[in-house]
Amino acid sequence: MSEMRRLGASGLEVSALGVGAWAWGDKMFWQYGTTHGREDVQAAYCASLDAGINFYDTAEIYGYGESERLLGDLSRESGRSVVIASKFAPLPYRLSAQALRPTLETTLARLKVKQLDLYQIHWPYTLIQVEDLMDALAEVVKAGLVRSVGVSNYNADEMKRAYKRLNRYGIPLASNQVQYSLLKRGPEANGVLKACQQLDVALIAYMPLEQGFLTGKYTRALPPGPRRFSPLFWRSRQARYKPLLDTIHCIAQGRGKTASQVVLNWLMCRDEHIIPIPGAKNGHQARENAGALGWSLSEEEFRRLDKASRRWLY
């Protein structure tokens, strides 16, 4: 398994595993400042860099801009070159694609950079046509503000429309960022992975650890505080998750790896277009996740995981 991946046909190369920075600065969902603070985030960033990870994903809405600010500071302080991805949120009050350029300029100011490596549309928005958003992305590429462009949460048809429109400008669609894990295998069933393969678009897999659940550390008896009411912890559902969690655990033990490393490795082994971006709140988690690089599941192990998670293939 290659340790580097192409960001579609954009010409950019990133580590096969990235890091998601949603929890960095986010007080609403992640209790930033209580469960983890700046020092933890810095440790996560440095541990990832030291492990060869050069790809970091943020968004204007993460921590109301705080995640972008932190990531910008950390990358400048480290003095090492990384690939930073951020996202434009098509919020309901942004009624036209003209909002994109000033929003990007604010993102660049928070990151304190002149050019962003990857700018993604965070989710599709019915009030603004896909084509209009792609025109706006093409404009910021031409202006030199962005090196490559992508989308997020787009279905296969929306992706193809985005690809086609960008093609008019000779700009490749670099990526589609969607939820993808052993418990959310939609991209394999709904055509998104196939479209990524056909169009040579990277599939950036978000929530690859199901927010910690796939590591086995959260259970019905020990749920994560803020998400204890999630269906993942319903009594009626426990029997259906057990075979998958047992398989992950058994393979991890046999290989001397951790559950998170097995789960992330499965995604990377699945297809060379896939780049998982697990979140990490501290140095320990970041180091552990980075240990998903440098080895590969055997075909037999891959198949066992595939089989144990087959019911989530929809």
Tell me the one-letter amino acid at 314.
Answer: Y
For residue 278, the SS3 value is coil
> x-or-dash pattern for ligand NAP, window 16-55, by CB under 6 A?
----xxxx--------------------------------
Q: How far is CA 58 from CA 42, 81, 103, 113, 313, in A?
A: 15, 16, 14, 14, 28
Find the shortest distance in angstroms from Cβ 218 to ligand NAP. 7
- Closer residue to ligand NAP in complex, CB, 247/258: 258
* Cα distance between residue 190 and residue 26, in whole Å: 31
CA–CA distances in Å: residue 183 to residues 53, 180, 230, 288: 25, 8, 14, 20
Closest approach of ligand NAP to the CB of residue 33, in Å: 14
Among candidates 22, 12, 271, which has minimal Cα distance to 149? 12
How far apart, in whole angstroms, are the C-alpha atoms of residue 174 and residue 23?
Answer: 24
Q: Which of 56, 62, 125, 218 is catalytic?
A: 62
Binding-site string for ligand NAP from residue 288 to residue 307, where x marks contact by CB under 6 A and - marks none: xx------------------
Q: How far is the CB of 74 from ligand NAP (least distance, A)?
A: 15
- CB-nearer residue toward ligand NAP: 122 or 165: 122
Residue 36, SS3 per DSSP: strand
Q: Residue 89 corresponds to which tokens in the numbers above?
A: 């949120």
Taking alpha carbons only, the member of 48, 125, 116 closest to residue 87 is 116
Which residues ranging from 123 to 182 are in contact with ligand NAP (CB under 6 A)?
152-153, 177
| 185-244 positions binding ligand NAP, by CB under 6 A | 206-212, 215, 217, 224
Angle at 14 between CA 11 and CA 16, to 5 degrees: 130
User: How far is Cα of residue 139 from the mean position of the Cα atoms in its chain?
Assistant: 25
Residue with Cβ nearer ligand NAP (32 or 163): 32
**What is the nearest approach in angstroms of ligand NAP to the Cβ of residue 279?**
2
Minimum CB distance to ligand NAP smaller for 50 or for 169: 50
Is 180 annotated in the active site? no
- Which stretches of the chain bind ligand NAP, using CB under 6 A? 20-23, 57, 122, 152-153, 177, 206-212, 215, 217, 224, 260, 277-281, 285, 288-289
